[in-house]
Each structure stands twice: as structure tokens, then as C-alpha cells.
Amino acid sequence: DVDGSPSGPWGAEDVFYIGLETPYFAANRPFEDVTELRLVRGVDSDVWQKLAPFVCALPEPTMLNINTASTEVLAATVIEWDLSGQAMTMAKQWTDAISKQPVADQAALAERLLGDREKPVPPGLETVTRYFMAHTPLNFDNVEYRVSSLYRRNEGQAELLRQNRELL
């Protein structure tokens, strides 16, 4: 969030974080890198290991491409629609159907998921992807690295937004 006021029972701001053994301030901005999630109150090593395969940090709010979303990521989106605890079941049905035949546009998405081309598609879903992450392994003198590159599709071109390198 953008302010210094905690939200909800697990919310934390500077007062909590500066009281830690290694103190730091709350960023109060969107994540720039997914590893920043590890600094959030309640995200320990076990939580991080479970979340890491399903999260990303992008430079702007982004719709979810239903053709490429995993069941878990789609279920997290479906939960926001408040569907009485059926998020994982519904997401599994949708990802199974789409894995057999991807959808080309919003009308096809509405028809396949909702049974009616005229129904509005649930919020947050689309059928295209604008951001891509490429992970490239490198080995120099027996030292292994991975370079991660974030690209944005922009009018038919791939625009490099950022790269980071990590030791493996």
C-alpha cells in the first residue's frame, strides 16, 4: 500500500519492521521484484517456497491471460469474485477446458467459461500476454548464474524492461 497505516490484522508498517533484528522501512509502493515479497510480515521460508512458483512483480496492474494461467493463479483471481468457496474447483475446470483448446478473444472466453458469448467476462481476465520473463542459465569458469529478463510486448516489439543476475 501507499501509506503508513497498517491494514487488517496482519498489516504491518514501519513500526513493525524497524523493530525487527535487522530493521528496515516499509517500501509503501508496488513490488519491483518478486523477492521483495520475502520482506513482508508473515512470509517466512515455507510460505515463500509455496508462493514463489505462482507470483510475479510487474511494473503496472496487469490482466491475467487465461490461456496460460495455472489453476492456482486462476483460483486466486476467482476468489476475488466471491464464488462461495468454489474457486479451486472452478479454476480447475476452466484450465482443463482451455488446455484442450485455448480461447482467441473475450467473446470466445465468455462462451467457453460462461456458456454465453454476450455475458461479461469476469474482471481481470484476458486472452493475451503483454509481459514475458526469460530465464537464461550461464556458466563462466564453473560459476553458474541465471539471468532473468523481463520483456513487455509493445506494438509487435519486445521491449526489455529489466534484467537481474543471480548465482545458482
Average pLDDT along the chain = 87
Task: Collect all residues with Cβ–Cβ distance below 8 Å to 130 and sequence separation of at least 6.
Answer: 62, 152, 153, 154
Q: What is the mean pLDDT of residues 81-92?
A: 75
Note the pTM of the prediction, 2 decimals: 0.76
- How confident is the model over 21-49, as pLDDT tens digits? 999 999 888 888 888 999 999 999 999 99
Q: What is the mean pLDDT of residues 63-91?
A: 82
Task: Answer whether residue 124 shows pLDDT above 70.
Answer: yes
Task: Answer whether residue 94 shows pLDDT above 70.
Answer: yes
